[in-house]
Amino acid sequence: AKLQITLVRSLIGRPETRT
C-alpha cells in the first residue's frame, strides 16, 4: 500500500493545488 502513501503525501505536499 505504498502507492496510497505516495498519493496522500502528494496531496498534503502540495495543498496549493487544492486551493
- The answer to pTM > 0.85 is no
CA 16 → CA 1, 2, 6, 7, 9, distances in Å? 25, 23, 17, 15, 13
Are 11 and 4 in contact by the 8 Å Cβ rule? The answer is: no
Phi, psi of 14 (to 5 degrees): -135, 70
Summary mean pLDDT of the chain: 74
Task: Judge whether residue 13 has pLDDT over 80.
Answer: no
CA 17 → CA 1, 10, distances in Å? 24, 10
d(CA 5, CA 13): 11
pLDDT at 12: 81
Q: What is the DSSP letter of 8?
A: H
